[in-house]
Amino acid sequence: MVRNDEFYLRKWVEYYGRELGKENLYIYFDGIDQDVPSFCEGTNVVIQEKLKGNVAQGDKKRIEFLSRQAAQLFEKYDLVIGTDADEILVVDPLLGISLAQFLSQYNIKTSISGLGIDVGQHLKKEGSLDLNRPFLAQRQYARLSSRYTKANIIARPVRWGSGFHRVKGHNFHIAKGLFLFHFGYFDMERIEARFADPSRRAEGWARHLKKRSKTIRLCTTRKSHNWEKTVPMARMIQTIFRPIYALNKPSMLEQAVIVRIPERFHNII
Residues of the chain predicted below pLDDT 70: 195-210
Tens of pLDDT, residues 176-231: 999 999 999 899 998 887 766 665 555 555 666 667 789 999 999 999 999 999 99
Domains of the chain: which residue ranges?
79-265
Residue-wise DSSP of the chain:
-BSS-HHHHHHHHHHHHHHH-GGG-EEEEESTTPPPPGGGTTSEEEEE----SSHHHHHHHHHHHHHHHHHHHTTT-S-EE---TTEEEEE-GGG---HHHHHHTS--SSEEEEEEEEE---TTT--S--TTS-GGGT--EEEE-GGG----EESS---BPGGG--BTTS---EEEEEEEEE-TTS-HHHHHHHHT-HHHHHTTHHHHHHHHTHHHHHHHHSPPB-HHHHHHHHHHHHHH---TT-TTS---TT---EEEPPGGGTTT-
CA distances for 178 relative to 51, 105, 157, angstroms: 32, 13, 22
Terminal CA-CA length for the chain: 20
Taking alpha carbons only, the member of 147, 128, 146, 148 closest to residue 138 is 128
Give the pLDDT of residue 72.
Answer: 98
Question: What's the number of CA atoms in the CB half-sphere (13 Å) around residue 214?
Answer: 8
Measured distance CA(114)–CA(206) in Å, rounded: 28
Residue 137 main-chain phi, psi, to 5 deg: -80, -15
Give the pLDDT of residue 213.
Answer: 84
